[in-house]
Structure 1
Amino acid sequence: MHTTSTRLLKLATVMLAAGLFTGCATQNRAYDYSAFKQSRPRSILVLPPLNQSPDVNATASMLAQMTYPLAESGYYVLPVALVSETFKNNGLHNAGEIHEVSTAKLREIFGADAALYVAVTRYGATYTVFDSSAVVSATGKLVDLKSGTTLWEGSATASNSEGGNNNQGGLVGLLVAAVVKQIMNNVTDASHPVAGITSQRLLVAGRPNGMLYGPRSPNYEKD
């Protein structure tokens, strides 16, 4: 019995070590940018994000803040208002329908080199006894409109509680701070500025495994 237990313990230790090693290797693996560098996109069509959260504000909030990091990274981004109006004129009114349009058709209508597909997986406040946090998470995919090839994929998240709670007022202070924060999250869209941070983390070039710089950036092709 003792020998069997010892063998099982050794086997579990080996499997745990292998799992940890594999996890580290996966996290540190560099993204393969070969398709991205071959495509060399200059213009990007930003599609309205899919909303996979229960908050109806998610799509508009993210869409309003996705153009800036792409432009700062050196890409020409088609004007969001013009794109939205074009979709409406073609009978497409929601993100789900728009994401189903073929890449060839998007290329024909807009003439862009690539399209950005984003899904908001989390948007809104979460509550605990001592805190209330606005959290926004999203995934993104850049697709070549000429070939339909995926050039890049990534994800990002942000929270207005980052940095921890440094309240020095003890238990009562923590409870009061949590109540005040919950009220503020309810009466204002506290997730909107957080969505801006998520957009930056997801789309700005130069981050590990993030987007590459576009042709309008002085850092173009230095990656």
Structure 2
Amino acid sequence: MSQSIRLFKLAAVLLLATFVTGCATQKPYDYSAFKRSNPKSILVLPPVNKSPDIKASYSFLSYTSYPLAESGYYVFPVAVVDEVFRQNGLNAPEEIHAVVPAKLREIFGADTALYIEITQYGTRYMVLSSDTIVAANAKLVDLKTGETLWSGAASASNNENQNNNNGLIGMLVKAAIDQIVNTLTEQGHVVAGITSQRLLLARPYGVLYGPRSPYYGKDEAAGR
């Protein structure tokens, strides 16, 4: 057997192993608790911000209602919810997340609450690139039982699907220009909208369709 054939077979085995490993990480989500709870309404809590940008929490919060409503749920108006918390002396997202589920249900009458944590938000400059990234994770909690019905994570970048074929000098100049443009145009807020869609729209491994959606109850057809 020639050396080239042996190398080809080895590459094929490694590629297959990588493919199988990648598939194995995509485990189907267990939606049994979600289906038992069958929620109709969602109370979105102000996201806890782990990034250095102080605007991140309310920037991301402003995008959360649309994908959840499109997925078929009644979403409590975020401005009203925010005012209720303020009237009760709760201003920081960390304080709000610490409120026991039963108390949230008593105040708002919601079926579930959505807890969001922002792990990345903003523009970062590197030698050959500058990109704006927003990443977040979330969990949906049944306010009757305190049980987590679903959890997930998503991220987005304004540099997705971009090719750098401008040479070293061109890449350096582009990175510097991108950083200025991203900062001046609040690209973090734009990218947050994409992240929220990926995180909160009903989709494979996302929340199930709610009762206001025409796809309600049809998740089984998608293997969920």
With normalisation by structure 1, the TM-score equals: 0.87
How many Å apart are 1:20 and its aligned residue?
6.2
In the alignment, what sits opposite 1:209?
205
In 2: Cα distance, 1:136 partner to 1:81 partner = 22
Cα separation, partners in 2 of 1:42 and 1:124, compared to 1, 3 Å: same
In 1: Cα distance, 2:24 partner to 2:170 partner = 41
In the alignment, what sits opposite 2:109?
111
**8 Å contact 2:73–2:210 — kept in the other structure?**
yes
In the alignment, what sits opposite 1:197?
194
In 2: Cα distance, 1:34 partner to 1:186 partner = 43
Where do residues 52-91 of structure 1 align in structure 2 (5 Å cutoff)?
Answer: 52-91=50-89
The amino acid that maps onto 1:216 is R
Match of 2:175 among 175, 178, 202: 178
Match of 2:186, SS? coil
Percent of pairs with identical residues? 60
In 1: Cα distance, 2:28 partner to 2:40 partner = 23
Superposed structure 1 runs of 4+ greater than 3 Å apart: 19-26
Match of 2:123, SS? strand
The amino acid that maps onto 1:96 is E
**8 Å contact 2:124–2:179 — kept in the other structure?**
no
How many Å apart are 1:22 and its aligned residue?
8.6
How many Å apart are 1:124 and its aligned residue?
1.0
Unmatched 5+ stretches in structure 1: 1-15
**CA offsets, 1:36-78, max 9 Å, x none?**
0010100000000000111101101110001110000000000
The amino acid that maps onto 1:32 is D
In 1: Cα distance, 2:157 partner to 2:138 partner = 18
How many Å apart are 1:26 and its aligned residue?
4.5
**CA offsets, 1:114-169, max 9 Å, x none?**
000000011111212221100000000000001111000000000000002244x4
The amino acid that maps onto 1:204 is L
In 2: Cα distance, 1:141 partner to 1:34 partner = 15
Unmatched 5+ stretches in structure 2: 1-13, 220-224
How many Å apart are 1:111 and its aligned residue?
0.3
The amino acid that maps onto 1:200 is Q
| Pairwise CA RMSD | 1.9
In the alignment, what sits opposite 2:139?
141
How many Å apart are 1:203 and its aligned residue?
0.3
The amino acid that maps onto 1:131 is S
The amino acid that maps onto 2:215 is N
The amino acid that maps onto 2:179 is Q
**CA offsets, 1:172-194, max 9 Å, x none?**
32222212101112323211110
In 1: Cα distance, 2:20 partner to 2:111 partner = 36
In the alignment, what sits opposite 2:214?
218
In 2: Cα distance, 1:166 partner to 1:128 partner = 14
Where do residues 6-155 of structure 1 align in structure 2 (5 Å cutoff)?
Answer: 23-24=21-22, 26-155=24-153
